[in-house]
């Protein structure tokens, strides 16, 4: 029965028709591949040119923006502000030096205030007054 169904299905269809459809599909894929390759080769230089132009424009814009902002800020900031910044830096430098000098003076005064006996025995003074931990 199965053979009868196949014969009935194949009636009116030549045996080479299946091969013909496959061959035409294969030819269509091959033609599409060739056409796509040709178009890609034609489009590649244009795409390269567009990308290089975009890269140039991006780099130019970034450099221009940074330099413009710096130049504008330099011209916009008044001279007294620039002098004020210099004054602040000078004040910080002098304050650092004065603080270091004052700290050294205080350390010297503390060393003079502590007697040699206290330095050797600790806070309590005489060794007899010190608590025993044994």
pTM (2 decimals)? Answer: 0.35
- 3, part of any domain: no
Q: Is the dihedral of CA 25, 26, 31, 32 positive or negative?
A: positive
The H-or-E segment that residue 6 falls in is helix 2-10
- 128, part of any domain: no
- 88, part of any domain: yes
pLDDT over 90 percentage in the chain: 18
Same domain for 52 and 68, yes or no, is yes
| Rounded-to-integer distance, Cα 85 and Cα 101, Å | 24
Give the total residue count for the chain.
Answer: 134
Helices (H), 11-133: 16-76, 79-113, 116-121
- 96, part of any domain: yes
Tokens linked to 68: 């413009």
- Is the pLDDT reported for residue 37 higher than 80? yes
Residue-number span of the structural domain to which 99 is assigned: 78-117
Same domain for 82 and 41, yes or no, is no
The string of pLDDT tens digits covering residues 68-110 is 998 888 887 777 777 777 888 888 899 889 888 888 888 877 7
């Amino acid at each position: 029965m199965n053979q009868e169904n196949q014969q009935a299905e194949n009636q009116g269809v030549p045996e080479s028709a299946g091969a013909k459809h496959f061959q035409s599909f294969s030819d269509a894929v091959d033609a599409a591949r060739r056409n796509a390759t040709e178009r890609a080769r034609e489009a590649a230089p244009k795409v390269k040119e567009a990308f290089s132009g975009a890269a140039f424009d991006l780099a130019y814009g970034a450099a221009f923006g940074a330099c413009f902002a710096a130049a504008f800020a330099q011209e916009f900031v008044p001279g007294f502000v620039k002098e004020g910044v210099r004054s602040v830096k000078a004040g910080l430098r002098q304050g650092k030096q004065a603080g270091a000098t004052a700290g050294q003076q205080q350390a010297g005064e503390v060393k003079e205030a502590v007697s040699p006996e206290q330095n050797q025995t600790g806070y309590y003074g005489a060794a007899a007054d010190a608590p025993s931990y044994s």
